[in-house]
Structure 1
């Protein structure tokens, strides 16, 4: 029982609480006073007209409520609309009870969870956000469409008239995870050439400006302007990247490995410059998806990044003529055709004569004519062509099929005859070089984050030499064929805007056949070797443009069936932006190669295209392996560009027969390695329409053959110093470029005259590569002009002059015994003399 005092206290307390509650319940305030209190508490400002709030009175909302909760309370009490703009201004409108309302919920398409604070942007530029439940509403009458957006999701436009206003609509937003585009620098060397974040150089032929001596974006000629890339004999079939031989470079055309890269036996690239859309060149740090190369990678893709309109163009210069056409068969398919053929069948231009003299000097084609006391006659036919076909078909919105075909052929026929002492001698020479390729690729975009690419390809190469001599009644046939098949699978996964990774599998089969057949005396040899390789690839990439960090690391694991051998090849590309102007870059890679080109005899294949492909036997012909590391400092500011790269590279498993020796090592068969380190520098400045650059390369490149008498000596392809300069002017449709290239002479081996009996000479040499050729120096000029008619037809003319000063540059030197004079003679090979070229092109 309660005592009286306790009872009285509880009764009194209950009465007070009840009285306070009754007072709170009945405390009605004017609406204007309520919103003034809210303004003071939440630092907002209400905008309204007196007519809309006149006479409104009710209990104020609790002070503990949030601003949004108070506005919702007022909305229910007053039937007014409250538009909150940035939690600063609140507009008060009178709701028209006749008008329709649009309401909805914004959800994620992946997990169906509500998206809070999604932005709803109306036609009148007013906007508001969704609540914690993803809910929104507005008056439909004055809003035809609205846009919903949120960070991390793709924006979506909704038409209010298409919504059902009886029920709230449900809107699903797709996550937007976009891989950041790699930042590219301004033009390097010329417009249309840029440096990518992964350290590679990218050439866009359609945007290509001009370079000294070039009037077209020839991929392999342009490549030789890059520091560290040279061709000692001016041939695109002898490109040396940081001391490597040409066959150590990987050339890909739409996924097809190309074993022939030059027309006119090396003076013109086989890749039509009017066709390629993107050319990527890697000197180091190439992707793990590139195999079968211990030097550089040149990847040419003629598939455009976006749809292009129908087009047609045709052109001619003093060597060849070509046509190009692209036709859209439908909105989802197109066909692209290109063809190019030499004009040497019809006319011998000055350009052709200079090219012919350069290519065939000191070969059996011209040696015949040097014989004395002969009534000599020669009838020669030379020609080349290339053609490509691309068919692309989109299937639905996720799939695309692309078929690429390419054919390349060079053909030389020389019939020689001479009369000596009433005896007629004749030779019928045929030299043919050709490459066919096909690639079928399928690409599927599973969603915004996952893509799969599959392609199967074939590349077939043939080099054939057929010589018949009536005087000696002898026939000599030499043939080198390559058949390369493969399949690639590549999956790309985007985790978020910074992280992505790729994985894949590659199968490659290469079969190489070498045939030699001689009559009188009879000799026949045919050797065929086949290698099959499997590769697993994993590659991850981190790209943060805010912190300016780029990291790409990959691993390629090769398995060679025949040798039951595993080879791991890690790759890395690391870039760090010290500031907006300065970037530090580290590139590294380990690579291997199972095929290579060798020379048995310098007069094979008439001494013109004397290299033949072979595959490794893991013994006398080892698997070539390379390791390379480079550190690069890149500066770009106020149109100044400075690029300094220090590198180290070592390639093991090379053979003497692959290095083109023409000294005492010509007939020595041994294996070893070469080691090169050096510095490459490019400084460039752009002033309005004028661009000038200066590049310098220093390297020290040495062979190491452990089993040879002279173990270590300079590499055949060493150019210790190389200096290039160019000045380019581009304004509107006029372009002109003047440039020069200077390099120290390549190594040569001199005979040791103190050890030679001149009465009965036998060649005795000094230490291999004990001296150097004379300095190489050349000045080149080119210019183009383009104009367009009122009907949209474009015309372009161009002129180039190689070696303006007509300098006689020596590119090689070797010695031989002249059996007629019984003496030692020096044989020199020289570069192109002054060579002009003109071009004309029409496009529409």
Structure 2
């Protein structure tokens, strides 16, 4: 009896122990993806796989401490195939598929977003963050092509197999006549080319400090020699030049409005824009109308075989893009963005508003008396819309149609009320750029090709300002209408030799208008200038590509002002061996349109620049000469570039320089000369990158009619330093950066005049630009996390924090007179400050 009871007790206990053991084992099972991450950390390795292949697989961890045993254990339990790619990377593939892994042949790092095209099929695939993609196992061998920007395309046969991992190692592009791309600079997607220019690719773009999503004009300011003294993207200063001296193109169309939110973010939609070229010197002869930098943005230009798109939501705006193929020969791309502050005002919107509207008529309000109640509010929004139609009727022909509209709109409401009356007025400011273009490209044979294009771009800036307590009002307007027709012929007799020739017709009209009621005044001035331009360019890469020569000549004639210009362009890149190369760049350039700068009395004080046209008299043609020489070392994932430059610009008008001192209302023609050094140090390890960019420059004006004749340029930044460290863990990446620069010059009042009462409105100043603002310092931080990475779609979350230490940087200081009594005036010191701590977050869905 006892024996039976003991047996029953033993069996019962064993039964429950087994149940508990099984439950414990079941609880110990983990997702295979988590188990792989633990192995990566334990053994300092990386696994390359597609999420879909293992998303539903769980595994019970083994207690072995041996990597090889762990891998065999996973293979035995899951049926997956694991293959070692190199000393650190392993690939995981599933049955009935071929695992493609795309790596950089030099660094061994994975290449995300590489394109895998199945030739003779309509199907294409893209690698994930680990450089991996799976394609179905075919019934018979197929030929695939693997493509990645800046690398040679590689073709190979694959399949059929049960298990297979194919490792494709791509080498940098060596196409002799294209820009020979060096290793990425600063982050993935930024490349320095051998003609001294920089190329950005928005599809491959990595992470930069303080930027939540791609902004091409913010990104450009990471380059040495490219600054923004007022922290905006609409005031980009290239090697000491003003923003109006730059040429901004979108698919060959000139854009006159570069910023949203009055300059704080780029107005060019990054999703329809694929490549960005930035030239500081030695530009191609097809580029005219600039004496400083060229920023050339290229929209996507290939008809895709499937629907692709992106959608982004951040704390400032919503953005969407779709690439829709209508047939094998026709497709359309549309991108749109709109601000969201009319739905909700976020911390970044409030921070931007505080920065933009400081010391403007929007904020400079005072309550007239204690019995009155003054109320003011602003309604601001912005949007942009871009579209491109692509039509390839034959294998040799390409037709393209482009459309772009950019808009900023501000409404400013004021109301004043008491027991007796109520007054209200509304002031408005509208800024818009509408552009459209059409082009035809044809490849006649293997040696000859041609292109014809035409575009029209119209820019309007209009303001209406109504005084609340009077019937006075004033209106201001600035309009630019430009038409360009261009034809180009390309001859390529050899693989290393290419000649280009073309003609460009330009007609640009600029209208400026002003109307006030107190005192009554009306002005409307329109200037139209026609230009005829011939350009030639020769590209030659002799000696097995060790030497790269680009030489061009641009001939320009403006009949109305009787100006002829002969402008040579040249750059040379010569490899020396051991990773060393020397470079030389030089150019002559000119421009007929520039930006006059005023303060406080222009467009509600929010926008202070208006375009003006050269007329051969008080506004002459602006000309420049520039040369630079440098040394490059590029080896073992190091890039070091040291470059010296000199630039002289003649024919500048004092009205285009934004003087806020004794020369503020003086009309004069002068010049500026700038020289300096630029240094880049860039190093990449596995997952870790570090870079430093430094610029030293000296920038001086010369106005013969001023006293003194020579003094520091308003844009003179003697020292400028940017540095950052980034770390990439695959799905998660982060970057931390610092920027420091010396303060810009300013002019202070003479002696004790700052606190003195004046008997007129004229402020006595010290000699111009002898004082300097305090140094500028800012630290920024960004994060990116890939939430989902599926074969057909992905979801990314970004976070960016500008000025994380909340530094109260001073951007500008100037002085104005203020009436304090009858015939008495005091001097006010005005200071403009930078953005304070500003966070931003975004979600990006790609499909």
**Other-structure match for 2:793:** 793
Maintained 8 Å contact 1:424/1:471 = no
1:829 maps onto 2:826 in alignment: no
Please give the residue correspondences for 1:185-584 in structure 2 after superposition, counting only pairs within 5 Å. 185-304=182-301, 307=304, 309-369=306-366, 373=370, 375-419=373-417, 426-544=424-542, 546=544, 548-584=546-582
**Other-structure match for 2:668:** 670
2:763 and 2:417 map into 1 onto residues whose CA distance is 32
**Other-structure match for 2:769:** 769
Maintained 8 Å contact 1:209/1:735 = no
Residue 275 of structure 1: how far off its partner (Å): 1.9
1:621 maps onto 2:619 in alignment: yes
Q: Compared with structure 1, are the counterparts of its residues 205 and 532 closer, same or farther at alpha carbon in structure 2 (3 Å cutoff)?
A: same
1:836 and 1:759 map into 2 onto residues whose CA distance is 43
Maintained 8 Å contact 2:336/2:385 = yes
Which consecutive segments of 4 or more residues in structure 1 shift more than 6 A? 420-423
Maintained 8 Å contact 2:222/2:693 = no
1:417 and 1:445 map into 2 onto residues whose CA distance is 64
Maintained 8 Å contact 1:756/1:763 = no
**Other-structure match for 2:134:** none
Maintained 8 Å contact 1:193/1:202 = yes
2:260 and 2:182 map into 1 onto residues whose CA distance is 33
**Other-structure match for 2:40:** none
1:658 alignment partner, one of 656, 659, 662: 656
1:204 and 1:774 map into 2 onto residues whose CA distance is 36
Q: Compared with structure 1, are the counterparts of its residues 486 and 719 closer, same or farther at alpha carbon in structure 2 (3 Å cutoff)?
A: same
**Other-structure match for 2:17:** none
2:842 alignment partner, one of 834, 839, 843: 839
Residue 636 of structure 1: how far off its partner (Å): 0.9
Deviation track 1:74-132 (CA, whole Å, cap 9, x = no partner) reads: xxxxxxxxxxxxxxxxxxxxxxxxxxxxxxxxxxxxxxxxxxxxxxxxxxxxxxxxxxx
1:180 and 1:458 map into 2 onto residues whose CA distance is 31
Deviation track 1:720-749 (CA, whole Å, cap 9, x = no partner) reads: 011111001123122211001001100010
Maintained 8 Å contact 1:778/1:803 = yes
1:419 and 1:825 map into 2 onto residues whose CA distance is 29
**Other-structure match for 1:692:** 690
Residue 482 of structure 1: how far off its partner (Å): 0.5
**Other-structure match for 1:160:** none
Give the RMSD, CA atoms, in angstroms. Answer: 1.8
SS in 1 for 2:445: coil
Q: Compared with structure 1, are the counterparts of its residues 563 and 759 closer, same or farther at alpha carbon in structure 2 (3 Å cutoff)?
A: closer
1:192 and 1:309 map into 2 onto residues whose CA distance is 24
Residue 180 of structure 1: how far off its partner (Å): 4.6
Question: Please, which runs of 5 or more residues in structure 1 have no aligned partner?
Answer: 1-176
1:370 and 1:232 map into 2 onto residues whose CA distance is 33
Maintained 8 Å contact 2:408/2:430 = yes
Higher alpha-carbon Rg = 1
**Other-structure match for 2:142:** none
Maintained 8 Å contact 2:779/2:802 = yes
Q: Which moved more, 1:289-298 or 1:211-220?
A: 211-220
SS in 2 for 1:641: strand
Task: Give the TM-score, by structure 2 length.
Answer: 0.77
Please give the residue correspondences for 1:626-645 in structure 2 after superposition, counting only pairs within 5 Å. 626-645=624-643
2:421 and 2:235 map into 1 onto residues whose CA distance is 40
1:353 and 1:601 map into 2 onto residues whose CA distance is 23
Residue 823 of structure 1: how far off its partner (Å): 2.4
Maintained 8 Å contact 2:638/2:682 = yes
Residue 716 of structure 1: how far off its partner (Å): 0.2
Residue 786 of structure 1: how far off its partner (Å): 1.5
Residue 404 of structure 1: how far off its partner (Å): 0.5
Q: How many residues align?
A: 668
Q: Which moved more, 1:331-340 or 1:422-431?
A: 422-431
2:646 alignment partner, one of 629, 645, 648: 648
Maintained 8 Å contact 1:425/1:469 = no
Residue 709 of structure 1: how far off its partner (Å): 1.5
SS in 1 for 2:527: strand
SS in 1 for 2:181: coil
Deviation track 1:233-276 (CA, whole Å, cap 9, x = no partner) reads: 11111111111000100000011100000000000101112221
Please give the residue correspondences for 1:661-740 in structure 2 after superposition, counting only pairs within 5 Å. 661-740=659-738
Q: Which moved more, 1:761-770 or 1:626-635?
A: 761-770
1:247 and 1:181 map into 2 onto residues whose CA distance is 29
Residue 380 of structure 1: how far off its partner (Å): 1.5
**Other-structure match for 2:810:** 810
Task: Give the TM-score, by structure 1 length.
Answer: 0.77
Maintained 8 Å contact 1:393/1:402 = yes
Q: Compared with structure 1, are the counterparts of its residues 755 and 835 closer, same or farther at alpha carbon in structure 2 (3 Å cutoff)?
A: closer
2:235 and 2:420 map into 1 onto residues whose CA distance is 43
**Other-structure match for 1:752:** 750
1:742 and 1:599 map into 2 onto residues whose CA distance is 26
**Other-structure match for 1:603:** 601
2:308 and 2:559 map into 1 onto residues whose CA distance is 47
Q: Compared with structure 1, are the counterparts of its residues 708 and 323 closer, same or farther at alpha carbon in structure 2 (3 Å cutoff)?
A: same
**Other-structure match for 1:85:** none
Residue 372 of structure 1: how far off its partner (Å): 7.2
Maintained 8 Å contact 1:364/1:603 = no
Residue 632 of structure 1: how far off its partner (Å): 1.4
Residue 580 of structure 1: how far off its partner (Å): 4.7
Q: Which moved more, 1:638-647 or 1:465-474?
A: 465-474
Deviation track 1:384-406 (CA, whole Å, cap 9, x = no partner) reads: 00001110101222111000000
